[in-house]
Structure 1
Amino acid sequence: MSTKAKLRASTIGGTADDVEAAFYEALQRGDVDALMDCWADEEEVFCVHPGGPRLVGAEAIRAAFEHMFGNGAIQATPARVRKVESLASAVHNVLERIEVLTAEGPRHAFVLATNVYHRTAQGWRMVAHHASPGSAHEPGDASEAPQTLH
């Protein structure tokens, strides 16, 4: 079975964790078809990239990722996953480690993302991805930092 077929199979019959793994693998390969296989086929799915507008619907999300992949694959690796799960939905908050190639060599940045999954007739699917700018260095664990409301 090809890698693409394995990813498609995992998104159809797997868990929210499987869909998340397939999503980040598709980002790292720059594979928009595999990435879109992770999304629910619903009009109200949405995506927010760091500093970007809210994209609503699969067409807008696909167009944004096609544009991003025009510059190459996105080397985003999820870490420090925090999960809230129920029978029909799952919310994962992740720290994404992004590698960017510059003239001086590879640089790393961190993005905070929340991924929301619903159990649909097609299996678990992503319904929302919201990423916020992080920092240029790996932040300490949030549980270690003092909690402050704005």
Structure 2
Amino acid sequence: MPRSKAETAALMASPDDLEAQFYEAMREGDVEHMMALWADDDEVYCVHPGGPRVVGPHAVRATFEAIFANGAVAVHAEQVRRVHTAGAAVHGVVERVEVPGDEGPQVAWVLATNVYVRTAQGWRIVAHHASPGSPRAPLEVAESPSVLH
């Protein structure tokens, strides 16, 4: 059952609450719920794995409508790394995506960055950037690599 924007907004007490709602909307395939989580700002942007950067709420909505036209996405955020300030938060996550396959569900892994800002309406998403997946779970590197790029 879709949530009203008021019901969804009440759940935005923290970036973690907002992130939980983002992934719930993905698992439900609910575009109204999803878009209630985004800031109402012309500069919001989204990059889906292997896709272009889309800018603005209407373009972001169109991408989620296209994705959800194929059904909900069985995705779960894991290995979350957080950087928070008083008015912004950046979460680096490993997304575990369950994809139907001929021999049962397969798992793909996606690396994503979610950016949140505190607005008058509570915490909202301003950016989601996801990199193409891998069939294996990404390993975390505890030490800084000697080469960055």
Normalised by the length of structure 2, the TM-score is: 0.92
CA RMSD of aligned residues (A): 1.7
Aligned to 1:59: 58
Cα distance change of structure 1 residues 99 and 84 upon mapping to structure 2, 3 Å threshold: same
Cα distance between partner residues in 1 of 2:146 and 2:97: 25
The superposition leaves residues 37-71 of structure 1 with CA deviations (integer Å, 9 ceiling, x where unpaired) of: 11000000000011100110111111110110111
Contact 1:8–1:34 (CA under 8 A) maintained in structure 2 = no
1:121 aligns with 2:120: yes
- Which residue type is aligned with residue 43 of structure 1? D
Task: Please report how far the alpha carbon of residue 142 of structure 1 lies from its aligned counterpart in structure 2 after TM superposition.
Answer: 2.6
CA contact (8 A) 1:26 1:35 kept: yes
The aligned counterpart of 1:10 is: 11
User: Whose helix proportion is higher, 1 or 2?
Assistant: 1
Q: Is the 8 A contact 2:112 2:129 kept in 1?
A: yes
Length-normalised TM-score, structure 1: 0.91
SS in 1 for 2:142: helix
Aligned residues: 147
C-alpha distance in 1, partners of 2:141/2:49?
20
Output the CA distance in 2 between the equivalents of 1:119 and 1:29. Answer: 25
Change (3 A) 1:58 1:149: same
Match of 1:109 in 2: 108
SS for the counterpart of 1:116 is strand
Change (3 A) 1:144 1:109: farther
Q: Is contact 2:27-2:73 (8 Å) kept? A: yes
* Structure 2 unmatched ranges of 5 or more: none
2 CA distance for matches of 1:147 and 1:33?
Answer: 44
- The answer (yes or no) to whether the contact 2:9–2:121 under 8 Å persists in 1 is no
Q: Distance in 2 between matches of 1:113 and 1:74?
A: 15
* Structure 1 residue 105 displacement after superposition: 1.2
Aligned residue identity for 1:38: L
Deviation readout 1:45-102 (Å, 9 max, x if unpaired): 0000111001101111111101101111011100000011100000000000000002
**2:15, 2:123 within 8 Å by CA — same for their partners in 1?**
yes
Deviation at residue 27 of structure 1 after TM alignment: 0.2
Whether 1:77 and 2:106 are equivalent positions in the alignment is no
Sequence identity, in percent?
Answer: 54
Name the residue aligned to 2:141.
142
Query: What's the secondary structure of 1:73's corresponding residue?
Result: coil
2:22 aligned with 1:23, yes or no?
A: yes
Structure 1: 5+ residue runs without aligned partners? none
